[in-house]
Structure 1
Amino acid sequence: MLSWALTFLVIALIAAALGFGGIAGTSAGIAQILFFIFLALFVISMIARLMNGRSRF
């Protein structure tokens, strides 16, 4: 999931550098949405690990 966010971020940066505003905006929006989904899943997994009580460290 994070790799998709980074991929769309790179596409947005390249499109912005080449002057394709619509493509850059769309790619940046997709990257932002995927990043926040990844962040939410990360936080949920950390809370689940804390609730479980087992630590591997």
Structure 2
Amino acid sequence: MLVVNNDGKATDPVVAPRLKKLDEVKGKALMIHVGGDNMSDQPKPLGGGGARYACGVI
């Protein structure tokens, strides 16, 4: 989970335990949603994450 403070800064690392090499995601898009995924077998629209907030290429 990415947590951002009121100043727009994230200070905690984002952990991706299944990611082994940066090459696996290099050149791919990253979408950040306003809320968190509901981590359910019955996902809500957009994983429950709410509106799309930002997007970028890794």
TM tier, smaller: under 0.3
Q: What TM-score, normalized to structure 1?
A: 0.22
Q: Compare relative contact order (CA 8 Å, sep 6+) and give the higher one, 1 or 2.
A: 1
Query: Which protein shows a greater Rg?
Result: 1
Q: What TM-score, normalized to structure 2?
A: 0.22
- The structure that is strand-richer by fraction is 2
- The structure that is helix-richer by fraction is 1
